[in-house]
């Protein structure tokens, strides 16, 4: 792969963040030990009085959890270097920000959501309705699904795109984040057995745990081996890059029969630009299937407003504009779901995402 200077720097930082994960995790735990040492003597005594499970022993246990997580992080780097950046030197990593390191921790939670049996209920609420709709639109046995080309922008760790391809469709995932691309590459191409790894996705937050065991909870991944499931002759790929830049030009016009978006459209600075690209990608009569909220990611990004103004539409405004652009809504519903939730926690965010199936009619549309 060829990168410009800025993209190369970002990729180096992401690879460095995975390499540094173990050191980062141990440093955070060591900070907890230091803070405990500064407590009043009486308070330290209370924390240490449980001889079997005192606070210091719990921190040592979390150190072990960090080691197990780092096995996955190191495997992601080892598999990713030959594909993404062959010249990367694991012994000469860059200094990275705490924000970048937190993204590694977030990737662990995303692994639990997309590739564990534990989070099957989350996927049931969001991925399964999409898969059922595709099954209804293109019944198995009545059509050659390998000729149905489906795009999944914002594909994250690749699970939804994989599930679609596993049904026999030709599917391309698209992702911008190198954290997601490196990790999805490993999960889709390199794992060899079910439950190959055990991760501890919740250790980096000390809030809202009922028990210490809950904070150190184990999650086995993956719940499926992708290489054993993609045997239908369908084409499956992942494309790196910004959705608008990759699919917004003539070369992507009328390429796909279906575009599937899941928790994605609110990542746009201007959601209308996303609609333009979705329309560009789809053949006339093609389908756009969406599920997700409208949690606009750039709503408070004041720094870039002058160069890249943001727009935040309500759902009714969005549906009105979709109609004006030729998207006929065939089905519309809502559901409730968590996102990267921890069922053991005292706090879980509940989304009420909307699900729709729309069909694009390009002929005779008014041009604006």
In the chain, where are the structural domains located?
105-360
Q: Which two tokens stand for residue 37?
A: 């040492």
Residue among 330, 244, 239 at smallest CA distance from 285: 330
User: CA-CA distance, 169 to 186, in Å (whole number)?
Assistant: 22
Cβ proximity of 27 and 76 under 8 Å:
no
- The edge-to-edge listing of strands for the beta sheet with 170-175 is 236-240, 170-175, 149-153, 256-262, 282-292, 354-360, 327-334
Specify the CATH number for 105-360; select among 3.40.50.620, 3.10.450.50, 3.40.50.150, 3.40.50.450: 3.40.50.150
Sign of the Cα pseudo-torsion (80, 113, 341, 151, in order): positive
Residue pLDDT tens, the chain, 368 long = 678 889 999 999 999 999 999 999 999 999 999 999 999 999 999 999 988 789 999 999 999 999 999 999 999 999 999 999 999 999 999 999 999 999 999 999 999 999 999 999 999 999 999 999 999 999 999 999 999 999 999 999 999 999 999 999 999 999 999 999 999 999 999 999 999 999 999 999 999 999 999 999 999 999 999 989 886 556 899 999 999 999 999 999 999 999 999 999 999 999 999 999 999 999 999 999 999 999 999 998 766 556 678 999 999 999 999 999 999 999 999 999 999 999 999 999 999 999 999 999 987 565 54
């Amino acid at each position: 792969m060829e990168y410009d200077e800025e993209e190369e720097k970002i990729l180096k930082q992401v690879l460095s963040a995975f390499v540094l994960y173990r050191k980062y995790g141990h440093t955070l735990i060591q900070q907890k030990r230091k803070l405990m040492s500064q407590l009043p003597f009486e308070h330290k005594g209370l924390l240490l009085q449980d001889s079997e499970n005192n606070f210091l022993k719990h921190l040592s246990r979390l150190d072990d959890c960090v080691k197990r997580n780092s096995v996955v992080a190191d495997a992601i780097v080892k598999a990713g270097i030959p594909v993404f950046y062959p010249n990367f030197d694991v012994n000469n990593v860059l200094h990275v920000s705490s924000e970048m390191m937190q993204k590694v921790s977030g990737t662990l939670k995303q692994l639990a959501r997309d590739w564990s049996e534990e989070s099957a209920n989350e996927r049931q609420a969001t991925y399964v309705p999409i898969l059922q709709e595709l099954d209804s639109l293109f019944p198995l046995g009545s059509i050659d699904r390998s000729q149905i080309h489906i795009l999944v922008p914002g594909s994250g760790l690749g699970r939804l795109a994989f599930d679609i391809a596993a049904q026999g469709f030709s599917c391309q995932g698209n992702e911008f984040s190198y954290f997601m691309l490196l990790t999805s590459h490993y999960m889709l191409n390199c794992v060899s057995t079910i439950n190959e790894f055990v991760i501890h996705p919740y250790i980096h937050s000390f809030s809202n745990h009922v028990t210490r065991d809950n904070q150190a909870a184990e999650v086995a991944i993956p719940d499926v081996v992708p290489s054993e499931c993609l045997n239908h002759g369908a084409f499956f790929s992942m494309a790196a890059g910004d959705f608008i830049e990759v699919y917004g030009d003539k070369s992507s016009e009328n390429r796909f029969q279906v575009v599937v978006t899941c928790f994605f459209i609110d990542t746009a600075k201007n959601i209308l630009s996303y609609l333009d690209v979705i329309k560009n990608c789809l053949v006339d009569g093609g389908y756009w299937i969406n599920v997700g909220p409208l949690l606009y990611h750039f709503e408070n990004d004041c720094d870039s407003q002058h160069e890249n103004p943001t727009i935040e539409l309500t759902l009714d405004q969005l549906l009105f504009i979709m109609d004006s652009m030729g998207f006929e809504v065939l089905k519309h519903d809502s559901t409730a779901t968590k996102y990267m939730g921890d069922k053991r926690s005292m706090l879980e965010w509940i989304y009420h995402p909307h699900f729709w199936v729309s069909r694009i009619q390009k002929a005779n549309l008014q041009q604006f």
